[in-house]
Amino acid sequence: MPIEITMPALSPTMEEGNLAKWLVKEGDQVTAGDVIAEIETDKATMEVEAVDEGTVAKIHVPEGTEGVKVNAVIAVLAEDGEDVSSAAAAPAAEAPQPQKEPEKANTSQATTTGQSQTTESPPPSTPTNPDKGSRVFASPLARRIAQQSGIDLSTITGSGPHGRIVKSDVENISPGAAIPDPSKQVEIASSHAHSTSPVAAMPDDQVLAFYEEENYELLPHDNMRKTIASRLTESTQTIPSYFLSMDCELDALLALRKQINASAAVDENDKPVFRVSVNDFVIKAMALALRDVPLANASWISSARVLHKHSDVGVAVAIPDGLITPIIRNAETKPLSIISNEMKDLAGRAKDKKLAPSEYQGGSTAVSNLGMFGVSNFTSIINPPHASIISIGAGEEKPVIRDGAIATATVMTVTFAFDHRVIDGALGAQLAGAFKGYIEKPMGMLV
């Protein structure tokens, strides 16, 4: 009997995915374990393997299709000896079609009983070609040019979106060719006032019309951008956050880092087998601080606080036009050299969108480091289900007071964001102090 291939659930929370690419075509023979397709989630591209052998009888979901529901049938295999045509005709769940460009709304609608067509009025927000006595829709630049040139906009037919008058329409009219209609001036001024309202309050089509005089490119939201927007909006709207900042001196850490890297073994190509970064120390220090302050190593759910047994530390990694937070698991138990190599591997695969969901989901905290870009200090948004995130600024040489005298030190500003539902102020300060202690006395991270 036909074997249905369904959209897999690549994570416990996955509801749909994009079928990015088919690696087989109808009529191909496949065996169990063959990679047959690539599926895109919000953060990764995963390979789909065949679980049975047979012939690809029918591909129900073409590549490039977005929003394919989990467990929807995407293809059908015919078993050995089975008629391929009959297998292809097997019923399958309806799959979404590849996304198409949105079509313009049809302003006429036929009745279902064969009556004559009736014309609907366009929605109030949709500009129309101006007639005498109707509102004039024009871009701000077109209005300004018309006003300076003494041109009555109501006499011009616009060539922009939905009949909107644009710069070129006004420039093609000779100055003085049209005498301003005084009855229109109040309406034009009112319309101009609306056109300069905050762009964020406009519908999408009006925003594009607002920018029509400028050069721009539309960059459609991919799944990652939608997820980033959704989760961080959720965070700012639902998590009562507060922030703590403190300065940490780095001189002892930098000296220890130099010694560790100098003592690293080399491989067959005479290259060090690891190279510890300041960020690796930060990850380790945060992991140990969470171990020392276990009530802060927690997440929030509606019925309880979830206390984590290990320090699973997320690390924000910038990838092309996006962000992902792979997790260093059990970071409090790992040497700096292991953390360093794991981080390099995770960051490299993150940029290629090759992380498995288990490698970027979970944890209780995260590290965001912009110090390498010269940023002195900043605050980050907590990424649920985490209850904290630490923002790392650049190490800068600053004057400090030691034993009543002025000295210099390399100082790094760190800022903690805490979910107040989970971590109260005093507990947050305790965690921040533990972190500072490990950063300023880094030998404690080696024992």
Give catalytic residue positions: 420
d(CA 441, CA 255): 11
Q: How far is CA 154 from CA 59, 123, 201, 243, 407, in A?
A: 55, 20, 26, 55, 72
Q: How many helices (H) and strands (E) does the chain have?
A: 10, 20
Quote the tokens at residue 375: 């940023």
The per-residue DSSP string of 396-417 comes to: EEEEEEETTEEEEEEEEEEEEE
Q: What share of the chain is helix, strand, coil (3-state, %, to 5)?
A: 30, 25, 45
For the chain, the first-to-last Cα distance in angstroms comes to 61
Amino acid at 252: A
Q: How far is CA 211 from CA 149, 203, 215, in A?
A: 22, 13, 8
The per-residue DSSP string of 232-265 comes to: HHHHHHH--EEEEEEEEE-HHHHHHHHHHHHT--
Cβ–Cβ < 8 Å for 210, 140: yes
Q: Which helix (H) or strand (E) holds 298?
A: strand 298-301
Question: Long-range pairs for 356-362 at CB < 8 Å and ≥24 separation?
Answer: 356/10, 356/44, 356/46, 357/10, 357/11, 357/14, 357/41, 357/43, 357/44, 358/11, 359/326, 359/327, 360/43, 360/44, 360/314, 360/324, 360/325, 360/326, 360/327, 361/11, 361/13, 361/327, 362/312, 362/327
In the block, tokens 């006032």 appear at 193
- The whole-angstrom distance between residue 270's C-alpha and the CA centroid of its chain comes to 39
Amino acid at 270: D
Quote the tokens at residue 148: 């300076």
Quote the tokens at residue 88: 């292809």
